[in-house]
Chain A
Amino acid sequence: MIVELGHFCLILALFVALIQSTVPLVGAARRHVGWMATGRTCAIAAFLLIALSMAALMHAYIVSDFSVVNVAENSHTDKPLLYKVSGVWGNHEGSMMLWVFMLSFCAAAVAVFSNNLPPALRARVLAVQGMIGVGFLLFILFTSNPFLRAVNPPANGHGLNPVLQDPGLAFHPPFLYLGYVGFSVAFAFAVAALIEGKVDAAWARWVRPWTLASWCALTIGIAMGSWWAYYTLGWGGWWFWDPVENASFMPWLVGTALIHSSIVVEKRDTLKTWTILLAIVTFSLSLVGTFLVRSGVLTSVHAFATDPARGTFILLLLLVAIGGSLALFAVRAPKLQGGGLFAPVSREGALVLNNLLLSCGCATVFLGTLYPLFLDAMDGPKLSVGFPFFNRTFVPLMAPMILAVGIGPMLAWKRGDLLGALQRLWVAYIVAALVTLAIFYVTYGGPVLAVLGIGIAVWLAAAVVTEWVERVGLFRISLADSFRRAIKLPRAAYGMSAAHFGLAVFVAGVSASAFSQEGIEVLKAGGSMKLASYEILLERVEKIPGPNFTADRATIRISSGGVAVATVYPERRFFPLQKQTTGETAIRTNLLADLYLALGEADAEGNWTVRAYWKPLVPWIWIGAAIMAFGGLVSLSDRRWRVGAAARARRSAVAAPAE
């Protein structure tokens, strides 16, 4: 009964979304206040309906209702509660439910927090969001219904893929999807602006917080996914350039460009056409990613059940959403008023450079991901594109960008002084040069590029600090005055500094991974091996029972120079239901380096393969990403989003009536 109610709510949500996508649009065109207002009501109603529907599905998972096909195929009574809940989105149908749930959540958030917006713009934004909702609700109801009942329910379910039975599943997809789908708000704002034919600083100010919030969520989502891969796959890798990873990385790259270019629209009222295009492209890439993952066009390690009918449906959705918005762009963009001019060397110029590099970076990832498909269609040879391609194309593009990140904020708006900026960064050069030389000396004979990478990271960190020191006038004015300035500095400035600093930390972490050491040995209980400065002793391996698995758990004592450091317990878990084995690694970190231990297979004589990695600075990859996301959140808390936007909205609402 609850399941049918969930299904019913979903159908009802479709009809509400249909109203949401049409009535406010007509209302905005005819300036009918009541019709425009339906957008808000519908967005909130659709969210509540979809939330109920999601709750119904979750309930079916929690009580293990195997008369529902989706539950029977992906759940099992013995599964711990956490995985019963998170298992809801561990499959195609359920993850699409999470997708529309997040979409309706964003639309409802826009409806609630949009008091500042002119009613016509709000109505149009919500209508565009409604249209996306209609598309995906149709997709779920017609091709991927999670509420389908089985005629002969099985006694128990097939269970969830053991690899997914990890707390990571509870957090990684929701953040990722919130990021993906959050960009639909920027998309809706862009389309609404094109319909209105007006883009101005106020528009940028409204759209920026939404873009920033989605960007933060996406950053967290991707970082969590990468961390999850790192600690579960058991061989120390953290990014594989897999099509599914790339599908999440591409919107991130363009979204990063978008949060930067919209600054220019907000402050200088220029780059508007480009920003609109970026807003459309960012969400379009989220949609294309969905298509690639679920149509089976590309092969990937992230297995979703694929089905050509679904592929065709999503392709139609892409044609309507992306094709439609870009066609609208083609018609309306030439009519948008250009804004202020600026010299190539200026803050604007640096942001344009940042945009170019990020877009090119995204284009390389796109090409690398789809190259096999393109070549195949041209009847060319079947080629594979992997690590070597991305390392040779993407990395060189990002190196100059990191330099631009350091210099850009030092330049003035309109016309900057590049030479002056370069000179003012003298401390950064000295610090970077000293650190580079020191590392080069210590690791002599090691990878040179990695040393340079760390050097660039140090330089960037120093440049970020220099920029802040200049802003607050430290060492130039009295300490008390500097302190006052530091407090008065807008949060957005701190957000930027934090995010850029996070990037430096991230780059250092990535570069230093070239120095990792690894050792693999076959050990008997009581045997030991050496890695870096550590002594690793395999004390014993014992069988322990788990809720739905049995595990071989090793007790490994780590010591350094005779002093005990830690005792860790890596496991190998066997899931009898799926006849699958997964590894549970043990990671000992001091935030400067990870000691990573994985238990391999045992041979007939009871010898265990033990893999150990020593990975310097690797935690910084995720710490850096977390600092970036934190920077975004700090910037999001800037008071101008609350105070300035409202004041401007009132002014522009008076000055420029809709249409």
Chain B
Amino acid sequence: MRRLIALLPVGLFLVLAGYFAWSLRPGYDPHELPSAMIDREAPAFDLAALAGDGRIARDGLKGQPLVINFFASWCVPCRQEHPLLMRLAKQANVRLYGIAYKDKPEDSARFLSQLGDPYRGIGVDRDGRTGLDFGVYGVPETYVVDAAGHIRKRFVGPLTEAAVEKELLPLLRRLGGS
């Protein structure tokens, strides 16, 4: 018995090492969405809007390509990404919507009043349900959804200048043209 208990720590460690080895396999990137979600229909959501009494719902936004950004006032990288979103929102062809993930509405509102509001509309995902449906790994995350409502691209973590210029905008141009 004593012997078995003494084996426990090394056993647990080997399991952990197995996970680590798995996470290091070539091609794994925690920033990538599993391919299963790509090109699937975006999960349905119908959220209260942060400002006013409106709703922000998937079906109401269909018809044109869409950029959905999950953010929260408590998230440090969101602040880092914010100026980029502000610039992005100024481009005519970008429909940028925000989802305030697990955040009190008053905190989200304050966050946006400090830094500026780049979104055309913001859904309040207080309990994180919609984030869960999308498979949000951590905030910020950004999704590109095409006119038919299919997820075409996912960005985990703060957007970078390069990601916007080389991936997001070209993708939107392609989606808008087709």
Q: Which of A296, A329, A601 contacts B10 (CB 8 A)?
A: A329
Given contacts A330-B6, A330-B7, A384-B136, contact A311 B114 (CB under 8 A): no
B137 touches A301 (CB 8 A): no
Restricting to B1-40, which residues have a CB under 8 Å from any CB of A?
A: 2-3, 6-7, 9-10, 13-14, 16-17, 19-24, 26, 30-31, 33-34
Q: Which residues of A contact B102 (CB under 8 A)?
A: 386, 388
A384–B77 touching, CB < 8 Å: no
Contacts of A327 in B (CB 8 A): 10
B151-178 contacts to A, CB under 8 A, are 156-157
CA distance A504 to B76 in the complex (A): 29
Chain B positions within 8 Å of A284 at CB level: 13
Question: Of B24, B110, B131, which is within 8 A of A520 by CB?
Answer: B110
Q: In the assembled complex, which residues on chain B have CB atoms less than 8 Å from the CB atom of A235? A: 79
The 8 Å CB contact of A301, one of B74, B77, B114, B115, is: B77
Chain B interface main SS type: helix
Residue in chain B with minimal CB distance to A600: B114
Given A297-B23, A330-B6, A609-B114, verify A322-B74 contact (CB < 8 Å): no
Asked whether, in the complex, the Cβ of A377 is within 8 Å of the Cβ of B23, the reply is yes
Q: Which residues of A contact B2 (CB under 8 A)?
A: 334
* Nearest B residue (CB) for A308: B24
- For residue B54, which residues in chain A have a CB less than 8 angstroms away from its CB? none
**CB closest chain-A residue, reference B17:** A319
Nearest CB in chain A: distance from B73 CB, A: 9
Is the CB of B139 closer than 8 A to any CB of chain A?
yes
CA gap between A334 and B4 in the complex, in Å: 9
The CA-CA distance from A308 to B132 in the complex, in Å, is 28
Asked if A312 contacts B24 (CB within 8 A), the reply is yes
Query: Does residue A201 face the partner (Cβ distance < 8 Å to B)?
Result: no
> B34 contacts which chain A residues (CB < 8 A)?
382
Question: Which A274-324 residues sit within 8 Å CB-CB of chain B?
Answer: 277, 280-281, 284, 288, 291, 295-299, 301, 308, 311-312, 315, 318-319, 322-323
Assuming A323-B10, A323-B13, A329-B6, is B138 touching A315 (CB within 8 A)? Answer: no
B37 to chain A, nearest CB (A): 9
Interchain CB contact under 8 A, A311 and B9: no
A170 interface hit (Cβ, 8 Å) = no
Shortest distance between the CB of A260 and any CB in chain B (Å): 19
A322 CB to nearest chain B CB (Å): 6
**Any A CB within 8 A of the CB of B91:** no
Q: Are A333 and B19 interface neighbours, CB within 8 A?
A: no
Q: Which one, B6, B10, B13, B137, contacts A383 given CB within 8 A? A: B137
Docked complex Cα distance between A301 and B76 (Å): 7
Which residues of B have CB within 8 Å of A520?
A: 110, 113-114
Cβ B10 vs Cβ A240 within 8 A: no
Task: Give bound CA distance, A648 to B77, whole Å.
Answer: 54
Q: State which of A368-376, A397-405, A569-577 sits at the interface with chain B.
A: A368-376
User: Does A318 contact B6, Cβ atoms closer than 8 Å?
Assistant: no
Beta-carbon contact of A311 and B24 below 8 Å = yes
Secondary structure type dominating chain A contacts: helix
A171 is an interface residue with CB less than 8 A from chain B: no
Residue B135 contacts which of A288, A296, A382, A600 (CB distance < 8 angstroms)?
A: A382
**In the assembled complex, A353 has its CB within 8 A of some CB on chain B:** no
In the bound complex, residues from chain B placing their C-beta under 8 Å from that of A649 are none
Q: With a CB–CB cut-off of 8 A, which chain A residues contact B20?
A: 291, 295, 297, 315, 318
Given A299-B157, A386-B74, A609-B114, are A315 and B24 neighbors across the interface (CB < 8 Å)? yes
Instruction: Annotate A505-517 by CB proximity to B: 1 below 8 A, 0 otherwise.
Output: 0000000000000
Whether the pair B19, A373 counts as a contact (CB closer than 8 A) is yes
Cβ of B51 to closest chain A Cβ, rounded Å: 17
Q: In the complex, how many angstroms separate the beta carbon of A293 from the nearest chain B beta carbon?
A: 13
Q: Which residues of B contact A (CB under 8 A)?
A: 2-3, 6-7, 9-10, 13-14, 16-17, 19-24, 26, 30-31, 33-34, 74-77, 79, 102, 110, 113-116, 131-132, 135-139, 156-157
- The 7 A-B pairs of least Cβ separation, nearest first, read A326-B10, A384-B138, A382-B135, A382-B137, A333-B6, A334-B2, A330-B7
CB<8 Å pairs between A and B, sample of 30: A240-B76, A273-B6, A296-B30, A297-B20, A297-B30, A298-B30, A299-B30, A299-B31, A299-B137, A308-B24, A308-B26, A315-B17, A318-B17, A318-B20, A319-B17, A322-B17, A323-B10, A326-B13, A329-B9, A330-B7, A330-B10, A370-B19, A373-B23, A384-B131, A384-B136, A384-B138, A386-B75, A520-B110, A600-B114, A601-B116
